[in-house]
A and B are shown apart, each in its own frame.
Chain A
């Protein structure tokens, strides 16, 4: 069984986002970048499945500018066997990414495609579902547990009401939630070894898909700031304030 894992390079989750003054976007120069956190869970799960003997090869793929390759390199360091970098500059909407990934799936014929449920930059939560739609494959989104069977998966999904379990036949798309597993850190020897693993570069323009943005970003602005609050000295004072000042209890 072959697993394709899609990863995205985003501003690190610990970075305090700053909005550019001209309203054109957020500051990314000299800002720490990392792999989108739930994509780390996707890689980890693929590696665990391979370690259990149920998968034979893991391919990590990313779509983005030159430096996006770093996320593939990191995936290789934690256990992916080879990488694919689809090069494209500028904004790529989830719809375009899903069309690009479809081309890669058609080329590689994986049995499973894993990725994070949502990227923490645009917070779109679309790519996996869109890819599943293009391929007419089943989708198991927001996975917190995956059981691999012969020709199917049993996936526990985190939904608003609690947990839901579905069974999907393979080939299938799974989007991973943060509680699926605990992503490992790459060891130094594995980081060194990963440098020798191959990453194939493909130009998005050679894939023959429409990647033109359909959504115009008219303005990016800071959200309204909350006015500063106060510290209260005691529980009594807190309750009085809530009752008499804020009038919420």
Chain B
């Protein structure tokens, strides 16, 4: 039986985490079909068909899918679910919102946020904010699985030529209405996929002081993250939060500045390849996961850091 992956997109482009989920889905079964539910999203259908791991694109095109509403997506998915052994999507706010609704209506106990495919029915997933790893086997006949995107490489996006099949829309829910989305536009790399992330915590003391972080981020072409404390304090907006209930990031370099390193924050960044911690409290738990720790006042260290970076002839982008 084939597997069905639900694509996340904005009707113009595929969202990057869908490509990571495609890789994971193809490890479950190579006969991978992608379901694209959208409005005037032909460009997205085309680009999905060019992903070599994708064998078929099912495209539902209807104006009711202009905005992503879990209730409407669920109805569309359920129309086509019976032909598939697995229904899969990324474990970001898109998939977390959507998949349980689908799973419940199929009477399936969902496997959330997997980091490894062991076999088509057995997966590895973190629990307790990543402080334990559980190997779990799903005994449901059909499976609903969400993928932690940062644990899988993004799929290649060129060279494929999958068939695109147009299929019918489902009924629209009358009880949920999209109002608006405040999307913060930025030229910086996306937090979830950036090669370098620099994050600030409560130690920054104010939103204005985050400029010290943005200056370094500009220099390194890094994404900007934050601890929950910094977001709660209003220094920076919620989409920057890294941690158990925020985003999980796995960059090549993670720089934690003025972040003490609560368990909940570590859950979102401790798989990073290289971790740097800058904190004036030498006992801060963040140092226990840091490859390079600098015990210093961030208000002195960050300007110096920028100055030293400026001295380098080349910086990897």
Would you call B245 and A221 a contact (CB within 8 A)?
Answer: no
Contact between B137 and A218, CB atoms less than 8 A apart:
yes
Q: Which residues of A contact B70 (CB under 8 A)?
A: 129, 139, 141
Given the interface pairs A123-B244, A133-B74, A162-B181, the reply to whether A216 lies near B129 with Cβ below 8 Å is: no
Does residue A217 face the partner (Cβ distance < 8 Å to B)? yes
- Identity of the chain B residue whose Cβ is nearest the Cβ of A247 in the assembled complex: B316
- A95/B108 contact (C-beta < 8 A), A160-B92, A165-B179, A165-B181 known: yes
CB within 8 Å for A223 and B131 given contacts A123-B244, A179-B232: yes
Q: Is the C-beta of B192 less than 8 angstroms from some C-beta in chain A?
A: yes
Evaluate contact between A158 and B139: CB separation under 8 angstroms: no
Q: In the complex, identify which listed stretch (B38-46, B158-166, B286-294) lies at the interface while the others stay far away.
A: B286-294
B84 within 8 A of A: no
Segment among A69-77, A197-205, A225-233 that sits at the interface with chain B:
A225-233
B21-44 contacts to A, CB under 8 A, are none
C-alpha gap A169/B253 in the complex (Å): 45
Whether a CB of chain A sits under 8 angstroms from the CB of B280 is no
Contact B291 A216 (CB under 8 A): no
Q: For A132, what are the chain B residues with a Cβ–Cβ distance below 8 Å?
A: 101
Interface mask (A109-134 → B, CB under 8 Å = 1, otherwise 0):
00000000110111111111111111
Q: Is A220's CB under 8 angstroms from B134's CB?
A: yes
**Complexed CA–CA distance, A172 and B97 (Å):** 15
| Least CB separation from B110: chain A residue | A126
A49 sits at the interface (CB 8 A): no
- CB distance A242 to B180 under 8 Å? no
Within 8 Å CB of B183, what residues of A? 161-162
The reply to whether B173 and A138 form a contact with Cβ atoms under 8 Å apart is: yes
Q: Which residues of B contact A166 (CB under 8 A)?
A: 69, 176-179
Question: With A and B bound together, what is the CA distance between A93 and B177 in angstroms?
Answer: 30
11 contacts between A and B (CB under 8 A): A95-B110, A141-B70, A157-B93, A161-B181, A162-B182, A167-B177, A169-B174, A169-B175, A231-B294, A248-B316, A249-B309
Q: A121-B128, A128-B100, A220-B132 are in contact. List 12 more A-B contacts (CB 8 A).
A: A16-B131, A94-B109, A164-B181, A215-B136, A217-B136, A223-B126, A226-B270, A230-B293, A231-B282, A235-B301, A238-B305, A249-B312
B residues touching A (Cβ–Cβ < 8 Å)?
69-71, 74, 92-94, 96-105, 107-113, 122, 126-140, 173-184, 192, 196, 220, 228, 231-232, 237-239, 244-245, 247, 252-253, 263-264, 270, 273-276, 282, 287, 289-296, 301, 304-305, 308-309, 312, 315-316
For the complex of A and B, the 10 pairs showing the least CB-CB separation, nearest first, are: A129-B100, A214-B109, A130-B104, A133-B104, A17-B131, A126-B100, A229-B291, A165-B179, A239-B308, A235-B304
